[in-house]
Amino acid sequence: MLPEARLLNRGIGPEPETLDPQLARTTQSHIALRDLFEGLVSYSAEGVLVAAAASRWKISADGLRYKFWLRPEGRWSNGETVVARDFVYSFRRLVDPETAAFYAETLNSVVNAAEITAGNKPPEALGVEATSRFELEITLREPTPYFLSLLAQAATYPVREATVVEFGEQFARAGKLVSNGAYRLAKWEIGLAITLIRNEQYWNNKNTAIDVVRHHVTVEPSVELFRYRAGELDVTSTIPSEAFARIRDERPAELRVSAFLGTYYYGLNLNYPPLGDNPELRQALSMAIDREALTASVTGRGEQPAYSWIPPGVQNYESPVLSYATLSTEKRNAAAKRLYTEAGYNEANPLQIQLRYNTSETHKNIALAIQAMWRHTLGFEAELINEEFRVLVTNMRAMKITQIFRSSWNGDYNDAYAFLAMFESDNPSNMFGYSNEDYDLQLKRAAKQTNPARRRLYLEEAERVLLADLPVIPIYYHVSKHLVSPSVRGWQDNVLDYHYSQHLSFD
Amino acid sequence: MQQRGALRFALTRLLSAIPTLFLIIVLAFMMMRAAPGGPFDEERAIPPETAANIERAYHLDESLPRQFRRYFGGLLRGDLGPSYRYPGYSVAELIGGAMRYSLQLGALAMLSALILGVGAGVLAAVRKRSLLDRMVTGLAMTGISIPIFVIAPLFLLVFAVYLGWLPASWGDSESGLRYVLPVIALALPQVAYVTRMTRASMIEVMNSDFIRTARAQGLSTFTIVRRHALRPAMVPLLSYMGPAVAAVLTGSVVVEQIFGIPGLGQLFVRSALNRDYTLVLGIVIFYATLVIVFNLLVDIAYGFLDPRIRRQ
Amino acid sequence: MSTFAALGQLGRQLGGSRVVVITTSALVVIALIAIVGPLFSPYTYLDSNLDVRLLPPTMDATRYFGTDDLGRDLFVRTLMGVRITLAVAIVATLVSLVIGVVYGAIAGYAGGKVDAVMMRLVDTLYALPFIFFVILLMVFFERNFLLIFVAIGAVNWLDMARIVRGQTLSLKEREFVEAARLIGVSPTRIIFRHITPNLMSVVVVYVTLTVPQAILIESFMSFLGLGIQEPQTSLGSLVNNGVRHTEGAPWMLFIPASILAFILMCFNFLGDGLRDQLDPKERSG
């Protein structure tokens, strides 16, 4: 008697845009890709870095040379063996300017990667070599302590060269795509769902419990919740804030809320007044925000107030904390008012400033709440400007009209540097006009440091400088929130919010 | 004789639609490009080299007139271009896929609206001022006074979540049941309009001389309606069909979002927000062509239904 | 006679209809309450008090309609919603009215080539997906309250223009217009002094149909996140917000939704009543 195929229905959120690992740009694409492919390394269900396509590796003492031994039993979904050359091809494809890969910079620490992407060297010059059928060697420009975790990222997933050559840009479609992960692509109905079925050839297939995974496109969180309640989904991608309290009361066992490596913040443009050259004002604005009330009432899903920039949970790191974290609300507000006056503002001369956020219920509610807090504590009326996402992004980059703008930063990998890089003076993600020599220096020192304990000190010092200058106002640390059906087993909370379907099962 | 006239009429209209279409394409192209933000702007900034590579791959580094010529050249070859958002997928294929759902949904909604609306309208007109009439009129009034985005989620909540009678979304199964809620939500305002229109038109026709003559001849109401009154009463309804189709497409944006249907309305909104230039333009062209053709059909039908107009 | 005198005569004629009087009075009363009502409440639409979120309607503490998810008073906000919704609808309708009447009258009166070209433009604009137009406009340009009126008005004038043109075409042949032309009155004067007043009945009816349309369009834009911007609000915006709280705080949906439906019904009944009074041919029964 054949057992019924075990089918897992997951809500994925907004639509993924592609299943080509090197071209993928969005979180949603990465979720689907994680089930389809496997990188050299991967994460366990608990969020620990483990061997995957590679069975073991060796790192040289100077941190510049990595050698990987591939698993000889690794297979593509068409039965062919996964070999080192596949990874060489895929890494070159990632940095190749012709590919126009969005995350080409993932491999920037590899020798020649940046030059290739800039078009100054051919892809063959990349510091990656297949020294034998199953041996791969990677050479870096400078020691990058978090390099291994980069190799778990979707951008570095291998693609089969013959498939790409044969089908060109259509290779990532159902019926053509060849993958090396736990599942293969059965169907992609745009706007509806991606259907994955078990990859029998996968080297670890015997440990895969779920036969079919459907990632459903769920654009509206409230509708996703309806579908979950109606039994159509086993796992949701998020939980709408207005329903959170009720769910906590009615279905506490199905609620999975976990710390997440992401900070919700208000960015400040330091290029001109009123925020440039006025650190007192920036601190005042930060102090006057009642983060506890905000996270308790407005977002109310277990988010943690942020008094540092980097969220807790980063390995080998402890953030310095803003001095007013421990003050009572009254004392903090009073201190804020004092700083505000010191900054040159008062009732006769209130601050005039614009706060931009992109269209979303959450952002709107937070902005309204903070506007009210500033009105109440400091006595000025911030002007709220709701912009469509891409308009806001354009304005943030241009740095010409923004003053305060809402944003979030998520760590791609579990390392403090993922959060600190963007404040370096020459970083393209620096949308704040922030430039501090001391800060840059600390980061440069950290980059050259192979001793983790000493590296940590430099990074923490950098964050201390950052918190003193406050080019951003951290507001709260994100949480990942899901509803997981009681029949699903194997779901483990982790700070990266990676949940591979191959770790899940039904009881 | 009339056949040739109709054919010439149709051809002239189609030909004169071409400059209209061209104007629309140019307008839409300019509007899309005037918008701040591009298809590859994500929250994460990318290094300038990567950005340059992406722009080159999609010809975004060329001058606007050059890009337009490239796009238009493709159009002339019948190629709507590749989607900027979904690599490996062509605009034509994405529109085709979405159109399947929108067409099914829209046709079902319009059909039910017409059948129900005309039926209710005729009944109400024939039994003017009766209880039935008042009820029908009242319901119709409600139908146009409550927005779709209130009705749809409420239906969803009651019928799918609370009662569990119907699927909560489109993607769950292939069953026909998943059509029920979206079609009802989409059809409701249309039923209301059609009912009101039919009723009004029917009443007017029933008051006309030739109906009175028929009645004096002793024909039953049913026969009168079926044989004499119905056809002329439908004429004003025709002129409503054009805007009705447009309204259904509009309403579909809401319904599609709420029920998770990957239809054309949803596709358009998403592609506008994603700045998927080619997809947006493709949908605009598609829609415009649809409207033009549809209006043409309506005008021809007018000619058939009402000989007086044909002579103009 | 002048346009104003025509309107005056119209008013007297309409005063005879019960439906017209009742619905107009209802709308006026609602508008007045919306303007004066906030004086009876100690709260403003801005006051956000996170300690009193999601309160159901109650008589104590004067939270007549309860509070929303940010602790703001819903009585005051709903009244603001009524004000803004009515304002948007009326102004947008006026915009489309002015553009449509002028455009249609000129086209109809000029006739011939000019008429053909002008109507061709209307046809072109008709074939542009209206809602797509609105979305494009709003998505691309900075959220501007004024732009909402312009967007709605700019899209709605097409129907008005068509109808006015049709009416003008038939009016053109009437004797008094012929007479004016023979005397040598300038076309502009003919259009504004003779033709426009006679359009009033058609126009008035159409206006009452356009207003509900404009209201629904504004609500639709709020649904897409493109309507009136916080912290201001409209009925459509309130309703959209309320839908998400249907289970947790149903008053957030039902109060503004009922008011919205009532206003729409008033306008629709008013339109019906006006048509009965003014255009016996188009009687709705």
Using the Cβ of A367 and the Cβ atoms of chain C, whether some distance falls under 8 Å is answered with yes
CB-CB neighbors (< 8 A) of A375 in chain C: 46
Residue C120, C-beta contacts closer than 8 angstroms, at least 6 positions apart: B16, B20
Residue of chain A whose Cα is closest to the Cα of B158 = A226
Partner residue facing B200 (CB), from C219, C265, C284: C284
Distance (Å, whole) CA A382 – CA A6: 53
- Strand partners of residue A135: A69, A132
Q: Which residues of B touch C223 (CB under 8 A)?
A: 149, 254
Q: What is the DSSP letter of B220?
A: -
Residues B35, C139: C-beta atoms closer than 8 Å: yes
Of B37, B169, B258, which has the smallest distance from its Cβ to A394's Cβ?
A: B37
Q: Do C142 and A385 touch (CB under 8 A)?
A: yes
Tell me what pLDDT residue B1 has: 46
Q: What are phi and psi of A479, to 5 degrees?
A: -125, 150
Residues of chain A contacting residue B178, judged by C-beta atoms under 8 Å apart: none
User: What is the least distance, in Å, from the CA of C5 to any CA of chain B?
Assistant: 31
Q: Is B147 exposed, middle or buried (0-12, 13-18, 19+ CB in 10 A)?
A: buried
- Residue C15, token pair as written in the block: 């005063």
Q: Do A298 and C50 touch (CB under 8 A)?
A: yes
Mean pLDDT across A44-56? 93
Residue B171 in contact with partner chain A when CB distance is under 8 A: yes
Q: What is the pLDDT of residues C84-138, one digit of tens each?
A: 999 888 888 888 888 888 888 888 878 788 888 888 788 777 766 666 666 666 6
Please give the Cα distance from C1 to A238 (Å, whole number): 66
C281/B287 CB distance under 8 A:
no
- Angle formed by the axes of helices B230-259 and B277-305, to 10°? 160
DSSP tag of A399 = T
Contact flag B262-A192 (C-beta cutoff 8 Å): yes
DSSP H or E stretch at residue B286: helix B277-305
Interface test with C, best of B12, B145, B186 (most C CBs within 10 A): B145
User: Six-digit token pair at A262?
Assistant: 């992401």
Give kind and range of the element (H or E) at residue B104. helix B91-126
Span C129-165, pLDDT tens digits: 666 666 666 666 656 667 777 777 777 788 788 878 8
- Rounded distance, CA A386 to CA C233, Å? 13
- How does DSSP assign A84-138, residue by residue? HHHHHHHHHHHH-TTTT-TTGGGGTTBTTHHHHHTTSS-GGGSSEEEEETTEEEE
Distance CA B25, CA B15 (A): 16
Contact flag B49-A117 (C-beta cutoff 8 Å):
yes
Q: CB burial class (10 A; 0-12, 13-18, 19+) of residue A298?
A: buried
**What's the pLDDT tens digit per position in A428-448?**
889 999 999 999 999 999 988
Q: Which residues of B touch A102 (CB under 8 A)?
A: 40, 42, 46, 50, 54
Specify the amino acid at residue A361. E
Decide if B53 touches A, using CB distance below 8 A: yes
The verdict on A200 touching C (C-beta cutoff 8 Å) is no
d(CA A164, CA B88): 12
Residue among B53, B169, B267 minimizing CB distance to A223: B169
Residue B311 has pLDDT above 60, yes or no: no
The size of the A-B interface in CB pairs under 8 A is: 155
Chosen for mutation from C48, C145, C237 (greatest number of chain A CBs closer than 10 Å) is: C48
Decide which of B33 and B172 is more confident.
B33
Are A297 and C53 a contacting pair at CB < 8 A? yes
Q: With bands split at pLDDT 50, 70 and 90, how would you rate the model's confidence at B171?
A: low
Q: Return d(Cα B102, Cα A152) in angstroms, integer.
A: 40
Inter-chain contact A365–C231, Cβ cutoff 8 Å? no
How far apart, in whole angstroms, are the C-alpha atoms of residue A475 and residue A306?
5
Please give the Cα distance from A466 to A425 (Å, whole number).
Answer: 12
Q: Check if the beta carbon of residue A263 is closer than 8 Å to that of residue A310.
A: yes
Contact A386 C248 (CB under 8 A): no
Q: Cβ atoms within 10 A of the Cβ of A214, count? A: 24
The residues in A 264-293 lying below 8 A from C, measured between CB atoms, are 293
Token pair 């300019």 is found at B30
C-alpha span between A270 and A268 (Å, rounded): 6
Q: For residue B307, what pLDDT is reported?
A: 52
Kindly state the percentage of chain A with pLDDT values over 70.
99
Q: Which residue of C has its CA nearest to B146?
A: C261
- Cβ neighbours, 10 Å, residue B246: 19
In this predicted structure, what is the pLDDT of residue A127? 95
Which positions in chain B touch A169 (Cβ < 8 Å)? 82, 87-88
A288: left (phi over 0), alpha (psi -120 to 50) or beta: alpha
The DSSP result for C40-93, as a single string, is G-S--SS---GGGTTPPP-SGGG-TT-B-TTS-BHHHHHHHHHHHHHHHHHHHH
Look up residue A235 and give its DSSP letter: B
Residue A28 per-residue DSSP state: H
Contacts of A220 in chain B (CB under 8 A): 257-258, 260
Q: Is B272 on the interface with C (CB under 8 A)?
A: yes
C25: part of which helix (H) or strand (E)?
A: helix C18-36
Tell me which residue in B17, B145, B149 faces C223 most closely, judged by beta carbons. Answer: B149
Among A243, A375, A386, the residue with its CB nearest the CB of C230 is A386
- Name the least confident of A72-76, A178-182, B274-278: B274-278
Residue that has been written with the tokens 């008053």 in this structure: C251
Alpha-carbon distance of A434 to B43, in angstroms, equals: 18
pLDDT tens, residue by residue, C195-253: 777 777 777 777 887 888 888 888 888 887 777 887 889 998 899 888 888 888 888 99
Which residues between 188 and 247 in chain B have a beta carbon less than 8 angstroms from any beta carbon of chain C?
196, 199-200, 203-204, 246
For residue A137, the tally of other CB atoms under 10 A from its CB is 17
Neighbours of B284 (CB within 10 A): 26
Check C127 against B291: CB less than 8 A apart: yes
- B 275-294 residues inside an 8 A Cβ radius of C: 280, 283-284, 287-288, 291-292
B292 and C127 within 8 Å at the Cβ level: the answer is yes
User: Contact partners of B by the rule of 3+ C-beta pairs under 8 A?
Assistant: A, C
Q: Do C225 and A359 touch (CB under 8 A)?
A: yes
Name the minimum distance, in Å, from the CA of A100 to any CA of chain C: 26
| pLDDT average, residue stretch B177-193 | 85
* CA–CA dist A224, A231 (Å, integer): 11
C-beta atoms of A100 and B57 within 8 A: yes
Which of A60, A36, A40, A65 shows the shortest CA–CA distance to A50? A40
Q: Is the pLDDT of residue A181 over 50?
A: yes
pLDDT band at A290 (very low <50, low <70, confident <90, very high): very high
Option in C46, C230, C248 nearest A246 (CB)? C248
Cβ within 8 Å of A, B 73-132? 82, 85-89, 94, 97-98
Query: pLDDT band at residue B300, thresholds of 50, 70 and 90?
Result: confident
Against chain A, the chains showing at least 3 CB pairs within 8 Å are: B, C
Q: Is the ipTM of this complex over 0.90?
A: no
Q: What is the pLDDT of residues C19-46, one digit of tens each?
A: 888 888 999 999 999 999 888 888 888 8
How far does CA A246 lie from the centroid of its chain? Answer: 28
Residue A274: asked if its preceding bond is cis (omega within 30°), the reply is yes
Give the tens place of pLDDT for each residue, A343-360.
989 888 999 999 999 888
Q: What is the pLDDT of residue C41?
A: 83
Closest Cβ–Cβ partner in B50, B259, B267 for A104? B50
pTM: 0.87
User: Parallel, antiparallel, or unpaired for β A212-217 and A7-13?
Assistant: parallel
Select the residue of A371, A386, A391 nearest C229 (Cβ to Cβ).
A386
Could you give the C-alpha distances from B18 to B76, B137, C124, in angstroms and in order?
12, 42, 10
B275 has a chain A CB within 8 A of its CB = yes
Residue numbers in B near A265 (CB within 8 A) = none
Tracing tokens 């010439």 back to the chain, one arrives at B8
The CA–CA distances, whole Å, from C113 to C119, C121, C123 equal 10, 12, 15
Is residue C238 within 8 A of residue C222, CB to CB? The reply is no
C-alpha distances in angstroms, B258 versus A15, A87, A107, A171, C272?
15, 42, 41, 32, 32
Query: Is B31's CB within 8 Å of C236's CB?
Result: no
CA distance C47 to chain A (A): 7
Domains plus CATH for chain C?
Answer: 2-7+14-39+74-284 (1.10.3720.10)
Give the SS3 label for residue B169.
coil
Check if the beta carbon of residue B306 is closer than 8 Å to that of residue B236. Answer: no
The mean per-residue pLDDT over the stretch A299-322 comes to 91
